[in-house]
């Protein structure tokens, strides 16, 4: 005979819990509503307004900036015009800056991931005072303002900086990386490394010891364990570190402004110059949306990685 294990009291409690959750649901929505409204009002609305201005809608709230700006294109159709986009993308200087932005972003993200995974693997597999020292030094830039770090990098690698001084002591001609793209990469790695190390190292630390010990008992070496076990299991933290690093670098301003050359430079500096120095706000907004689309493409990779992980775990 089949006996129903659910007691009458438990069904009553579930019913009460469901009614209570039903009552709390609107309350939770109301509590979450203020930050959502703030984001929509102070971020979403300006973004929509800027998108309309880039398409040539120069009336309403865009009338003042359209009146004082130079080379402003006005909408010719009901959907606007792409004249400002054509204006920007036909500019050879913009294309060079876009190329520099992409190269710096890719190189910086790869270097940051390589260093973060190296420190994380060494900390997880070996441990000891040297691993702890490396992980501690890697997060030091987190407590140094970007402006100060950028100025320090610039003076360190400038023509009369520390590097050239050391080379001069032994009669050699040292490199000058101040105000170059290399200095931008060094600064981007410096500012992005702490978050990547924390994220990747935490992913490696979450791997059970039993799996690593089993692999060692089977004769697997350091490289084999890292490649076949640790990196696949820490795939999501690695992807998060990589995407956040790339998004942070592609929209950076302080590091390329202080340490990079005047031309070509990254788009964060270029669009600021177009807005403040050249008084061409429409063109600067087009550049901002270019960075936004690139960042969105990088973010899509992060969403794909999370969806893939959730699918493998059966959560979707």
Average pLDDT over residues 234-261: 93
Confirm if 139 and 194 have CB atoms less than 8 A apart.
Answer: yes
Domain ranges of the chain: 91-279
Dist. CA 123–CA 125, nearest whole Å: 6
Give the pLDDT confidence score for residue 130 in this predicted structure.
84
CB-CB neighbours of 110 under 10 Å: 14
Confirm if 193 and 141 have CB atoms less than 8 A apart.
Answer: yes
Q: What is the torsional sign of CA 96, 98, 99, 100? A: positive
Confirm if 283 and 70 have CB atoms less than 8 A apart.
Answer: no
Per-residue pLDDT tens over the stretch 138-171 = 888 888 999 999 999 988 998 888 899 999 999 8
DSSP reduced 3-state for 117: helix
User: Which phi and psi angles does 77 have, rounded to 5°?
Assistant: -130, 175
**Cβ neighbours for 156, distance < 8 A, ≥ 6 positions apart:** 162, 163
pTM: 0.85
Alpha helix (H) residue ranges in the chain: 8-39, 45-54, 63-68, 83-89, 92-125, 128-138, 146-156, 162-169, 181-205, 209-217, 222-225, 231-233, 235-250, 254-259, 267-272, 281-312
Fold type of domain 91-279: MetI-like fold (1.10.3720)
Q: What does DSSP assign to residue 228?
A: I
CB-CB neighbours of 256 under 10 Å: 27
- Please confirm whether the linkage preceding 105 is cis (ω < 30° from 0): no
In the chain, pLDDT over 70 holds for what percent of residues?
A: 92
Per-residue pLDDT tens over the stretch 17-61 = 656 656 666 777 788 888 889 989 999 999 999 999 999 999 999
Whether 104 has a pLDDT exceeding 50, the answer reads: yes
Position 4 confidence tier, pLDDT thresholds 50, 70, 90? very low
**Cβ neighbours for 224, distance < 8 A, ≥ 6 positions apart:** 215
Dist. CA 199–CA 189, nearest whole Å: 15
Closest by CA position to 203, among listed 128, 130, 121, 305: 121
Mean pLDDT of the chain: 88
Dist. CA 58–CA 52, nearest whole Å: 8
């Amino acid at each position: 005979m089949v006996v129903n294990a659910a007691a009458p009291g438990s069904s009553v409690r579930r019913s009460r819990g469901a009614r209570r959750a039903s009552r709390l649901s609107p309350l939770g929505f109301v509590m979450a509503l203020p930050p959502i409204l703030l984001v929509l009002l102070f971020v979403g609305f300006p973004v929509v307004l800027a998108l309309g201005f880039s398409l040539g809608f120069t009336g309403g709230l865009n009338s003042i900036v359209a009146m004082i700006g130079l080379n402003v294109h006005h909408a010719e159709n009901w959907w606007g015009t792409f004249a400002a986009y054509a204006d920007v993308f036909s500019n050879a200087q913009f294309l060079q800056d876009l190329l520099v932005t992409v190269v710096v972003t890719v190189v910086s993200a790869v270097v940051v991931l390589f260093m973060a995974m190296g420190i994380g693997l060494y900390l997880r597999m070996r441990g000891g005072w040297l691993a702890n020292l490396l992980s501690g030094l890697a997060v030091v830039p987190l407590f140094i303002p970007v402006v100060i770090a950028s100025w320090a990098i610039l003076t360190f690698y400038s023509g009369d900086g520390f590097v050239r001084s050391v080379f001069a002591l032994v009669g050699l001609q040292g490199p000058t990386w101040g105000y170059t793209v290399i200095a931008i990469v060094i600064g981007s790695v410096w500012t992005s490394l702490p978050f990547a190390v924390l994220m990747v190292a935490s992913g490696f630390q979450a791997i059970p010891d039993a799996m690593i010990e089993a692999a060692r008992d089977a004769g697997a070496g350091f490289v084999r364990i890292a490649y076949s076990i640790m990196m696949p299991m820490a795939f999501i933290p690695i992807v998060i570190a990589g995407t956040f690093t790339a998004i942070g670098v592609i929209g950076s301003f302080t590091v390329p402004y202080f340490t990079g050359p005047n031309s070509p430079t990254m788009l964060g500096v270029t669009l600021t110059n177009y807005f403040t120095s050249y008084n061409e706000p429409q063109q600067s907004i087009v550049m901002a949306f270019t960075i936004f689309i690139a960042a969105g493409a990088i973010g899509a990779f992060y969403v794909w990685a999370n969806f893939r992980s959730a699918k493998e775990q059966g959560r979707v």
